[in-house]
Structure 1
Amino acid sequence: MANYRNGKISADILQITSKIKIPKWPPKSDFPADILKFMKKNATEKQALKLMKTNKYFIREKCPFIYFDDYFVLTQNFVHQTHSTPKAMYYRIEELPNNLGISGTLNVQHENLLSQFISKCIIFDLKCLNFNWLKNVKISYNDFKFLTSSGRLEKLDLGPTNVTSKNGEIIPYESLLDHTPALRRLCLEYNRYLILSQKFIEKICASNLEKFEVFKLPKNFEREAFLAYLAKKKPNLRVLLHFK
């Protein structure tokens, strides 16, 4: 059985919530008070988190999610929990509850369990997200947005992974950057389906990125012009280019 840490919240969040006085009565609304009371009492964990963001009345005295760990690896068949116990643990997806809170680092070595794992989680507060083990794999745009929903992701290693819409269209890199405002390090593998567009480069220059790394670039890639532009627009950015 998995070793969950029920209701654990980081010290800074505890400090904030301890100063909040939770209203006893529903706020003025177009909805009747009885309906708001029903919503607070019967909301699922995911619904509760959304409600808590709208008004202090919906804040729960008990944390609505189970904190699991700060470092995960998704393999083909297991969720690998590495830091919470002296001994690394492997869990099958069906062992996990449906109200996990995930923070820290997530390494996706295989896409097999990703959507199922996401369905088990009600909140992500990731600082590091790695897809570097995947080969020619597609993940959904909705999954990517949920994984980065906290807006606090600092390191993203996409590898050769493609993020796709419901229609199967590949989402361009510049759109992915819209969901990672705190990003400091970005690593990807050159993809013949995705160009390093001018719009993408401009977003990099306007971002908080400190390190940008690209692997498996073709030999004919115009490195001089590329590096010259970045040096002019973002001189403090560390750029690493690796060629085939």
Structure 2
Amino acid sequence: MAKVQTAKISADILQITSKITISKWPPKSDFPADILKFMKKNATEKQALKLMKTNKYFIREKCPFIYFDDYFVLTQNFVHQTHSTPKAMYYRIEELPNNLGICGTLHIQHENLLSHFISKCVMFDLKCLNFNWTKNVKISYNDFKVLTSSGRLEKLDLGPTIVTSKNGEIIPYESLLNHTPALRRLCLEYNHYLKFSQKFIEKICASNLEKFEVFKLPINFKREALMSYMAKKKPNLRVLLYFK
């Protein structure tokens, strides 16, 4: 079994919960008290996190997830843990427990382990998410929503990533931005499957973005219209366009 890091998150949880008086009795509810007690006692790690957000009665004395790392990489065959130990570690996906808590920065170099890795995690609180591949790779919309579920992502490098629904439909950029309200920097590679719609440009101008980068633009891309519109609507946004 992989030796993941528990001390940091445990100390944080202890510091928070030590200031909270947790009732021994369920709160008043339309559900019978016995059912609420059963829910608290038998909830899975993911269910426990959701319950803890609804009422402090459900707060557990023991943290329901294991802190893994704040900077790691998914390669084709390994989960690479880089910062939390004196020596960088490589784990096979089957070595990891099923109740990981993930925060900080995640670099995804290959899609091979992504869905399996997500299934191992009960909590994501990422600040930086980078898709570091050189080809058009499809990931599921559900996986994207889980990775950005905290709503606190500040940097997103999509590269040439294509996000698709269960039916295989391509999810437009403007829909992805609905899940990243705290985003400050957005990087992507121009993709002919994903046009820069007016809705996408308007969403950027209405967002908290401070930097917007686009790579591998075709020579005939009409940058003047884009730059002119953004200069009027969001003059403090730093826009960097890179052509092939």
Supply the distance in 1 between the matched residues of 2:95 and 2:60 (Cα, whole angstroms): 26
Alpha carbons 2:10, 2:63 under 8 Å: kept: no
Q: Which residue of 1 aligns with 2:24?
A: 24
1:167 equivalent to 2:167? Answer yes
Supply the distance in 1 between the matched residues of 2:95 and 2:69 (Cα, whole angstroms): 15
Alpha carbons 2:152, 2:181 under 8 Å: kept: yes
Q: Which residue of 1 aligns with 2:210?
A: 210
Identity %: 89
Structure 1 residues 86 and 29, CA gap change in structure 2 (3 angstroms): same
Structure 1 residues 153 and 14, CA gap change in structure 2 (3 angstroms): farther
Supply the distance in 2 between the matched residues of 1:153 and 1:216 (Cα, whole angstroms): 24
TM-score normalised by length of structure 2: 0.96
**AA paired with 2:38?**
F
CA shift, 1:14, in A, is 5.2
Alpha carbons 2:2, 2:97 under 8 Å: kept: no
For structure 2, which runs of at least 5 residues remain unmatched after alignment?
Answer: none
1:198-218 per-position Cα deviation (integer Å, ceiling 9, x unaligned): 100001001000000001111
Structure 1 residues 204 and 12, CA gap change in structure 2 (3 angstroms): farther
For structure 1, which runs of at least 5 residues remain unmatched after alignment?
Answer: none
Supply the distance in 2 between the matched residues of 1:172 and 1:52 (Cα, whole angstroms): 33
Structure 1 residues 11 and 241, CA gap change in structure 2 (3 angstroms): farther
Structure 1 residues 7 and 47, CA gap change in structure 2 (3 angstroms): farther
Q: Which residue of 1 aligns with 2:109?
A: 109
CA shift, 1:117, in A, is 0.2
SS across alignment from 1:49:
helix
1:55-78 per-position Cα deviation (integer Å, ceiling 9, x unaligned): 111011111000010011000000
Q: Which residue of 1 aligns with 2:183?
A: 183
CA shift, 1:86, in A, is 1.6
Aligned-pair RMSD on alpha carbons? 1.4
SS across alignment from 1:57:
helix
Alpha carbons 2:151, 2:180 under 8 Å: kept: yes
Alpha carbons 2:79, 2:90 under 8 Å: kept: yes
Q: Which residue of 1 aligns with 2:143?
A: 143
